Amino acid sequence: MLASSILTYKDFLKDSAEPLELRKAMVGRYQEVKSISAVALEFHTTRKTVRKWVGRFQGHISSLKNESKAPKHPHLQIADKTRELIIRFRKEHPNMGYSYVISYLNQQKCTEIPSAATIYAIWKKNKLLKVHYKKSEKKKDCRAIKQKYLAFEKIQIDVKELRDIPNYLDQSLALQQKKNLVKPGLPMYQYTARDLKTGALFISLAHEHTRHNSAIFLDMLLSHLKRFDVVPRIIQTDNGSEFVNTRNTLSDTIFKQVIHRNGITKHITIPPGAKTWQSEVETSHWIIEKEFYDYVNAPNVGNLVKKYRAYQWGLNTMRKNGYRGNITPLEALRKEHNRNYAKLPKEILDFPSCVLDKKYNQFMKGGHHVGLVTIRKYNIMLGADRSCL
């Protein structure tokens, strides 16, 4: 019986979407009186409602729950084969997103291409998505400021240690044991330079983390850019001993001497502990680790360098950067507001990656001869657009 002769079945639905106890009482009352009409009058509802719950009752209260109104056979549901391919790709490549899945489906000659929302829903349902936690501090959006720089005007340089990457370290130790080497078989340090405006990357490897290797890398970078009459205005690094003299700040390291050689480029360091100031190059380290080191198969150093240079070329000319409007560094260079820079050949993005330790003798004999006087060409390249800085 209802608690009140005024309240109807619909009134109870307003307080609860599933009034299970009320439905159970309705079914129990029917089993007593065996009359649909009498129960409907007593519970202030329709005979159709009473008949529905009496018909659904199977002896337990869970049978009185609401049934899903979703279609049992959706006409837009993707095929099971496509679903299996999407799940398999995620399990094999847990760090690759939507654009990579589309390429994979095309390679598998899949006839239907689901939307990003559908693919992520499948991953979420199968618990294949990583949980992303919010950071306590929000980073300042500096996109507008970065757009005021010219291409290759400001470059960030950093060094990444590779000993904490399981796939890469295992191959290095195996090569060391195979050749009976004292040191690891593969280079354990990555020297990275990234252009602040376009996001272009210039990378080399090294067995040792030294000032000489830092200077050799910078010398090669400046020489490479000089071949295209490009001279960076700012080189930014952290306060590591490979870049600055931590014991005597008044004494320049060999790294700084290479910077000051052309008379134009200046060296700046970030404040101690301000890691976000190097966010561009630090972000690239995370990307390279997930896309290259976690999957690369390098039987020897020569093979590794060749693959690295090919990967670097792909990063600069084919991989789109969502942070920069979903365009590649090459496309960003072509959109440069200074025409002299926009017309630079794409070969400027093909940096000759190498093992820096092997360039030591050549460097000590005279380096790659970064020129002193390129100021006139530098001013010509800048033109009137420098007035905006």
Q: Within a domain: residue 133?
A: no
Q: Which domain holds residue 316?
A: 143-388
Are the beta carbons of 338 and 382 closer than 8 angstroms? yes
pLDDT at 242 over 90: no
Are the beta carbons of 202 and 224 closer than 8 angstroms? yes
Q: Which backbone phi and psi does 266 adopt, to 5 degrees?
A: -115, 150
CATH number at residue 86: 1.10.10
Distance CA 33, CA 49 (A): 16
Looking at the structure, do residues 252 and 279 belong to the same domain, yes or no?
Answer: yes
Looking at the structure, do residues 265 and 186 belong to the same domain, yes or no?
Answer: yes
Looking at the structure, do residues 161 and 114 belong to the same domain, yes or no?
Answer: no
Looking at the structure, do residues 327 and 354 belong to the same domain, yes or no?
Answer: yes
Q: pLDDT digit string (tens) for 124-176?
A: 999 998 776 555 444 445 677 777 889 999 999 999 999 999 999 999 999 99
Looking at the structure, do residues 344 and 379 belong to the same domain, yes or no?
Answer: yes
Looking at the structure, do residues 231 and 264 belong to the same domain, yes or no?
Answer: yes
Q: Within a domain: residue 56?
A: yes
Task: Using alpha carbons, list the distances in angstroms from residue 224 to 227, 352, 374.
Answer: 6, 8, 14
Are the beta carbons of 225 and 373 closer than 8 angstroms? no
How high is the pLDDT of residue 142? 66
Dig out the tokens for 36 from the structure.
Answer: 């649909």
How high is the pLDDT of residue 218? 94
CA-wise closest residue to 269 among 189, 193, 191, 158: 158
Looking at the structure, do residues 105 and 161 belong to the same domain, yes or no?
Answer: no
Q: Which helix (H) or strand (E) holds 257?
A: helix 254-259
What 3-state class would DSSP assign to 76?
A: coil
pLDDT at 249 over 90: no
Looking at the structure, do residues 189 and 294 belong to the same domain, yes or no?
Answer: yes
Q: Within a domain: residue 189?
A: yes
CATH number at residue 252: 3.30.420.10
The pLDDT mean for the chain works out to: 84
Looking at the structure, do residues 362 and 219 belong to the same domain, yes or no?
Answer: yes
How high is the pLDDT of residue 389? 36
pLDDT at 367 over 70: no
* Geometric angle at alpha carbon 370, from 282 and 153, rounded to 5°: 45
Question: How many domains does the chain divide into?
Answer: 3
Dig out the tokens for 9 from the structure.
Answer: 């079945």
Q: Within a domain: residue 235?
A: yes
Q: pLDDT digit string (tens) for 185-239?
A: 999 999 999 999 999 999 999 999 999 999 999 999 999 999 999 999 999 999 8
Looking at the structure, do residues 328 and 365 belong to the same domain, yes or no?
Answer: yes
Q: Within a domain: residue 135?
A: no
Q: Within a domain: residue 134?
A: no
Q: Within a domain: residue 136?
A: no
* Geometric angle at alpha carbon 202, from 196 and 207, rounded to 5°: 130
Looking at the structure, do residues 231 and 366 belong to the same domain, yes or no?
Answer: yes
Are the beta carbons of 233 and 240 closer than 8 angstroms? no
What 3-state class would DSSP assign to 171?
A: helix
Looking at the structure, do residues 94 and 41 belong to the same domain, yes or no?
Answer: no
pLDDT at 295 over 70: yes
Are the beta carbons of 158 and 238 closer than 8 angstroms? yes
Q: pLDDT digit string (tens) for 2-36?
A: 445 556 777 777 666 668 888 888 899 999 999 99
Q: Within a domain: residue 74?
A: no
What 3-state class would DSSP assign to 160?
A: strand
